[in-house]
Amino acid sequence: MKSIFVTDLTANVELVNEPFLLHEVTRRKTRDGRPFLLGALRDKTGQVGCVFWDVPDYVEAWARSGQVVLTSGRTTIYKDALQIILTDLNPSQNADMADFLPTSGRKQAEMLDELSRHVAQLNEPWRTLTGAILLEEPVISRFAVAPAARGMHHAYIGGLLEHSLSMATLAAALAAHYPYVNKDLLIAGALLHDAGKTLEYTLDGSFDYTEDGRLVGHIVRAIVMVEQTAAALNFPESELRQLVHLIASHHGTHEWGAPVIPKTLEAILLHQLDLLDSRVQGFFDHLDSDNSADDWTIRSSGMFGTELRRPDRYGSEDE
């Protein structure tokens, strides 16, 4: 049973067979050719860097990212950040992944209730289409737990649902702010644009791509889901085409994986909402994963390419 979590760790703590999830492990060699492992160990509370010098062959043969490992070693401070110097790793059996994969700070039941409210507030035929896709099995169970990404932003259990709800709330605000916006189309697009991610990621040890995610991808999958459901409901063709365009263009540019670039008002807004929500949450996720207690993060953000400054009172009880 797991008794020590990342947030419990301080310098000079001795670890003996403590379970952690091995993450981002890479194999390196010292200048004189000795093998070592460099990576991170994580659980639901965060992650910490680790290094295994002179890694023995019996560990080298099996240690891979995404495995729960029994960790022995000692915590230390390296370049102002906490790090674990490993002395041994062993496979862990029958681990409860809820202890190791990060999870949304919001309660799942609360988010599912909010999803139902967003769908109920849509006008027809958008309400029926969106509800038939997201509120029915098998999609709703997957939608409730899937991450929104492998890293960078909303990379945790429930991240996809949290991201989609945030975008739907922002979409309603922008539809009230700007003229000529089709509110139902924009909110439906916010809720459905990433629905294909329910098939794109696996939660087996890490947030990695499924075979379908690698070969097809979430944009194509979401379009197929929408078109198949729309056909069964005799959804109007003109509205369907607008919704498919939102899904196809929400990445914004061909370089970012969009089959087409945004060409309608709602598509432009949806892309900007996706960019905004992912960047803001990516900012917070980087702060939460950094071990520094200072105003500035120790590590450079992969999303922003620089160290980040914490907002005043960040993490305080009166936040």
Residue 150's contacts (CB-CB under 8 Å, 6 or more residues apart) are 201, 207, 208, 209
Fill in the amino acid letter for 235. F
Predicted confidence at residue 181, as pLDDT, reads 98
**In this model, does residue 167 exceed pLDDT 60?**
yes
Spell out the CATH class of 6-99: mainly beta
Give the whole-angstrom CA distance, residue 303 versus residue 44: 21
| pLDDT-based confidence at residue 205 (cuts at 50, 70, 90) | low
Looking at the chain, which residues constitute the CATH 2.40.50.140 domain(s)? 6-99
- If you ran DSSP here, which 8-state letter would residue 218 be given? H
**For the chain, give me the number of helices (H) and strands (E)?**
10, 7
Of 210, 157, 171, 218, give the one whose Cα is nearest residue 193: 218
Tokens describing residue 231:
């056909």
pLDDT of 28-78, one tens digit each? 989 898 989 999 898 888 889 999 999 998 898 888 888 899 999 999 998
Helix (H) or strand (E) holding 240: helix 237-249
Would you call the peptide bond into 311 cis, given omega within 30 degrees of 0 as the criterion? no
Of 118, 201, 192, 112, give the one whose Cα is nearest residue 154: 201
- If you ran DSSP here, which 8-state letter would residue 206 be given? S
- The three-state DSSP-derived secondary structure of 148-167 is CCCCCCCCCECHHHHHHHHH
**In this model, does residue 178 exceed pLDDT 50?**
yes
| pLDDT-based confidence at residue 259 (cuts at 50, 70, 90) | very high
Tokens describing residue 135:
């509120």
**In this model, does residue 128 exceed pLDDT 70?**
yes
pTM over 0.85: no
| pLDDT-based confidence at residue 319 (cuts at 50, 70, 90) | very low
